[in-house]
Amino acid sequence: MNITLKQAEKIISIAQGKSIEIDTKMNIAIVDAGANLVAFARMDGAWLGSLDISIKKAKTARYFDMNTGIIGELSQPGGALYNIEHSNNGLITFPGGVPIKNAAGEIIGAIGVSGSSVENDHTVAEAGALAI
């Protein structure tokens, strides 16, 4: 299964709404099951430097089918995944990337969000991931 453009657009809309609710501006990326970019939105005034980060968060969440914050915990010195962020042409291993599942619980893509604190990034990404 793959995420559709219509689903990706709905997720971005929900994520933007959550971002507005918590008074921040975000870059929001949606990738499909193959980690290919399907949709992207940069809210007016969102940091340019976070554009690439949001895409890499989405890809990282899909590559490993887990929240990027969990990967970050596992990639600390002495951790099982130490230095993993250097693989796959660079990963992002802090919160803001979340796998997206369909109604059957199958992973069909992922969302990556960047533009604020990692806590806010995760909050917005999670709201988007739960939109479908």
29-87 confidence digits (pLDDT tens):
999 999 999 999 999 999 999 999 999 999 999 999 999 999 999 999 999 989 999 99
Instruction: Supply the CATH classification number for the domain 5-115.
Output: 3.30.450.150
SS (H, E, C) the chain: CCCCHHHHHHHHHHHHHHHHHCCCCCEEEEEECCCCEEEEEECCCCCCCHHHHHHHHHHHHHHHCCCHHHHHHHCCCCCCCCCHHHCCCCCCCCCCEEEEECCCCCEEEEEEEECCCHHHHHHHHHHHHCCC
Confidence of residue 26 (pLDDT cuts 50, 70, 90): very high
pTM confidence score: 0.95
